[in-house]
Amino acid sequence: MSLEIQNISKRYNKQNALSNICFSLKKGDIVGFLGPNGAGKTTLMKIITSTLTQDQGSVIINGANTIKNQIETKAQIGYLAENNPLYNEMYVTEYLDFIASIYKLSDKKQKIKSIIKKTGLDLEKSKKIEQLSKGYKQRVGLAASLIHNPDILILDEPTTGLDPNQLVEIRNLIKETGKNKIVLLSTHIMQEISKICNKIIIISKGKIVDNRDIDEFKKLKINLEDHFQKLTS
C-alpha cells in the first residue's frame, strides 16, 4: 500500500499553485496536511483524486500511475470534501446504497450494514440526512468514502464545525480507520494534528516547507503552531 507524489506542479493563469511537490506515504501513515489558505492543499488533493490534472509530475497509487490507470486508482481512494456534498433529501441507508451502486459493489447490503456499524450510524440509519446533526452528517460522509474499502483516505477539513463531543468521536474514527490505510488529512486546527496524526507535511505558496514524523516535534519540543507560523508567514 503506497502513495507517491512525484514532482507535481500546477499553474493557474501563469501563477504557480504547486511547484515540484514530492513525498511518499505508506500503510499506517496518518498525515496532517497543513498550510494557509491558498497554499495549494485542496489543489493537490484534487490532483490525487483525479478530479484535477497536474501540469507536470505523477501520482502513483500502489505502483499505478493515476493518469494512465484512472479507473483502477480512483477505486483505491476515498475522498471526503470540505463541503461534504450529501443528498439531504435521501435517507442514510438509501444514500449509502446509492454510493455502493456507483462503485458496483457486490454484496451491497452486507457492506452497508458493516460501514453503518463502523461509523456509529446504527441509530440514525433510518433518518433523512437533512435531519442529522453536523457530526452525524460527517459520519455519513466518512461512511460513503469508506464503503468500497479504499487503501487511501483523503479528508479535507473533516472536523470543521463540530462540537467538542463530535470532535472526539470523529477523531477516534479517523485514528482507528488509519491503522490499516493511508490517511491524508487537511486541517487548520493544530490541536487536531497532534491528536490524530503521526506525520506532518506543511505547504506554503505551493511548496513543501516541512515533512516529518510528529514524534520529532515532541522530542525536540517544537511548538507546532509557532513552527507553522514561522514557515508560512
Which of 70, 10, 6 lies closest to 42, judged by CA?
A: 10
**pLDDT digits over 37-66, tens only?**
888 998 999 999 999 999 999 999 999 999
- Vertex 191 angle, CA 207 and 130, to 5°: 95
**pLDDT digits over 89-146, tens only?**
999 999 999 999 999 998 999 999 999 998 889 999 999 999 998 888 988 999 999 9
Place 84 in a pLDDT band, splitting at 50, 70 and 90: confident
**pLDDT digits over 12-27, tens only?**
988 899 999 999 999 9
Label residues 33-46 b or e (16+ Cβ within 10 Å = b).
bbbbeebbbbbbbb
pLDDT (0 to 100) of residue 168 = 86
Looking at the predicted structure, is the pLDDT value of residue 35 above 80?
yes
Mean pLDDT of the chain: 91
What is the sign of the dihedral through the CA atoms of 89, 103, 6 and 25? positive
Place 155 in a pLDDT band, splitting at 50, 70 and 90: very high
- Vertex 87 angle, CA 84 and 92, to 5°: 95
Which of 24, 16, 55, 48 lies closest to 204, judged by CA?
A: 16
What are residue 78's phi and psi, to 5 degrees?
-110, 130
Q: Which helix (H) or strand (E) holds 165?
A: helix 164-178
Which of 131, 137, 127, 181 lies closest to 163, judged by CA?
A: 137
Residue owning grid cell 455519513: 140
pLDDT (0 to 100) of residue 58 = 97
What are residue 94's phi and psi, to 5 degrees?
-65, -45
Averaged pLDDT for residues 198-224: 93
Ranges of each domain in the chain: 1-76+152-161+182-233, 83-149
Q: Which helix (H) or strand (E) holds 146?
A: helix 134-146
Residue owning grid cell 501563477: 15
Place 194 in a pLDDT band, splitting at 50, 70 and 90: confident
What is the C-alpha to C-alpha distance for residues 72 and 95, in angstroms, rounded to an integer?
23
Looking at the domain 1-76+152-161+182-233, which fold is it? Rossmann fold (3.40.50)
pLDDT (0 to 100) of residue 159 = 81
In this structure, which amino acid lies at residue 60? I
Tell me which DSSP letter residue 52 carries.
S
Specify the pTM. 0.91
